[in-house]
Amino acid sequence: MRVEQKLLSIEELEALLDEWQSRLCLTEWDIALKIARRSEFGEEDNQGDIIYNKLSAQAIIRILDPIDWDNALFNQDMEKALVHELLHLMWHDFEPAAEESREHVLWHRRLETTARIMVMLKRSGLAASMDVKEVEQ
């Protein structure tokens, strides 16, 4: 499913961060968010990246500035990139150490697939029915 290119402001991304942080039970993390230019990224094909300290539960997520999106085949999805980076926090204990290993590539691909599915479910309205709700007494 190809997503429509939707440019988000830092304020819109911060609102999505609050939503997804809660949804993924990552509220104990202190997360800063930044829209960053391509030159700030180490790898050229990233839509986002994350730097975190698991001892202090602090993280910085950078989402690629749409001005630098130059992939003509696929639209940029800033929300999906945000969810992908949050999944790194959720599953950091299971990340294979060797970045070039087959295991690491597969682990990273599963994060990407999971992020895509979660955002698609939200946009289709199905995710609302999956949110935890307090049981009425």
pLDDT in tens, 70-113: 877 788 899 999 999 999 999 988 888 888 889 988 998 999 99
Closest CA to 35 of 70, 57, 4, 11: 11
Residue 58 CA to its chain's centroid (Å):
15
The token pair at 83 is 């969810």
Determine the Cα–Cα distance for residues 44 and 47; give it in Å rounded to an integer.
9
Does residue 30 register a pLDDT over 80? Answer: yes
Residue 137: band (very low, low, confident or very high) from pLDDT cuts 50, 70, 90: very low
Q: How far is CA 41 from CA 11, 49, 90, in A?
A: 21, 8, 22
Q: What stretch of H or E contains 30? A: strand 30-36
pLDDT at residue number 21: 96
